[in-house]
Amino acid sequence: MDFMDFVPYILTFILGLNVLLALTIIFLERRDASATWAWLMVLLFLPIAGFLLYLIFGRRLSNKEIFTWDKKSRLGLLAAVQEQLQGIKEDTLKVQHPTMIQYEDLIYMHLKNNDALLSQNNEVEVYTDGQKKFHALIEDIEKAEHHVHLLYYIVREDNLGKRLADVLIRKAKQGVEVKLLYDDMGSRLLSRKFIRSIEKAGGEVDSFFPSLIPKVNLKINYRNHRKLAIIDGKIGYIGGFNIGDEYLGFNKRFGYWRDTHLRVEGEAVNNMQTRFILDWNQASRKDIMYDEHYYQAEPKGDVGMQIVSSGPDSEWEQIKHGYMKMIMAAKDYIYIQTPYFIPDDSLLDALRIAVLSGVDVRIMIPNKPDHPFVYWATFSNVGDLLKAGANVYIYQKGFLHAKTIVVDGNIASVGTANIDVRSFRLNFEVNAFLYHPETAGLLADRFHEDMEDSTELNYKLYQSRSTWIRFKEAISRLLSPIL
């Protein structure tokens, strides 16, 4: 028998494998219908490659593989959360700014489904330039006396990465507790030499969801996309910047890197610290035990804030729900900056309803892709909102990576979550929800400044796109639930 005689058997085997996998996707895995249909389409058109792609991108993990921590261990937060919930119910919660009263339902939701304690005594500095942000961060680390806790999705072993490593090594040798947690996929190019240099000085370095085979991590989903820095329990950083030279604007492909990051002083730092400790204890064999030295935040300023986290360890999409609640509360305007705009139907409907209700909805996206399918899916989605009457801006100065929403100059959200299914359901994210007109107004002003470096995409121009672009958009949109 020659090879051709085996072809029918091979095709039958592939067909049977595809049917088996399809049944697994439909009946054994709990996922939304749109993602199910997207994977079935991939299996239909790419019988062998589709199976491999599913193993890398689509396979769900068991609860044991994701997270095992006990929510009751949230370091004394639950009692304070219950007190604030009761205060809102009984209308006894005192607020710094009268405008906060109209957002008590948003505050209540974050308390209820995320234990996101509200603090109202914070001072916030906004950074949109990487060089300024990292200058401030390294300066704060240099002054650290007790501990430096860092969590970043991407840590590059380039000039910025080595600069940061140098200061961490120096502080560790001085007796300061240094802990660096990175995501094993995002930082897959990080060398053992880099890690050992920090560990040799007395620091601790660990990775989130590591692969059994070094440098080969096939677990594309369930990544820790958070970016947090806590210094001495008094200063915290949260936002979109990772650690690498491209975030300073030194990558020729992307050019200037436009992001948004916050430097926080005040009691919200305690909540950021708890988030870091929970993530560290999950990833490391050396748990951080409770110590009052980790919680040294002092009241400073009048910014109201909740630190909200989400991820596949929860049945709720907390950050997405926060976005939707903000959108539904809008009366005047909604400003959104995001590198990827791939909302699910619920979020897209909320924005469409806002536009049709007379709310000024403005969405700013980058002018260049870092992921082609995501880029064209983004254009397909903004096209829907253009038709409804939204305003869409294409940032031209460089690459827009900010994850920012501002509503009515009263509230805002800044953090790590993009507007896409991956951020809402598959990755671990963290955002700061801000209840402070001055800070929200500052972020709105930054949006207006970025409009000067953007071109507006109107519906007529969008309709004139070529057939080839329409085809790429159509394919990308079909795949968007699994991107």
Active-site residue numbers? 225, 227, 232, 401, 403, 408
Amino acid (one-letter) located at 395: Y
Listed in order, strand segments (DSSP E) in 105-254 are 118-129, 147-152, 177-183, 204-208, 228-231, 235-239
Residues whose CB is less than 8 angstroms from the CB of residue 15 and which lie 6 or more positions away in sequence, other chains included: 47
- Provide the 3-class DSSP secondary structure of residue 141: helix
Cα(255)–Cα(398) distance, rounded to whole angstroms? 5
* Structure-block tokens of residue 371: 């992921």
Listed in order, strand segments (DSSP E) in 266-410 are 303-310, 333-337, 341-342, 360-366, 391-395, 398-400, 404-407
**Which of 100, 106, 204, 198 has its CA nearest to residue 431?**
106
Task: Count Cβ atoms below 10 Å from residue 275 Cβ, excluding itself.
Answer: 23
What Å distances lie between residue 40 and 23, 35, 55, 404, 474, CA to CA? 10, 9, 14, 34, 17
Residues whose CB is less than 8 angstroms from the CB of residue 365 and which lie 6 or more positions away in sequence, other chains included: 338, 339, 340, 341, 378, 382, 392, 393, 394, 395, 400
Residues whose CB is less than 8 angstroms from the CB of residue 135 and which lie 6 or more positions away in sequence, other chains included: none
H-helix or E-strand spanning residue 447: helix 437-451
For residues 102-121, b (16+ Cβ closer than 10 Å) or e, as one string?
A: ebbebbbbbbebbbbbbbbb
Cα(142)–Cα(232) distance, rounded to whole angstroms? 11
212 near 238, Cβ under 8 Å?
Answer: no
Cα(483)–Cα(481) distance, rounded to whole angstroms? 6
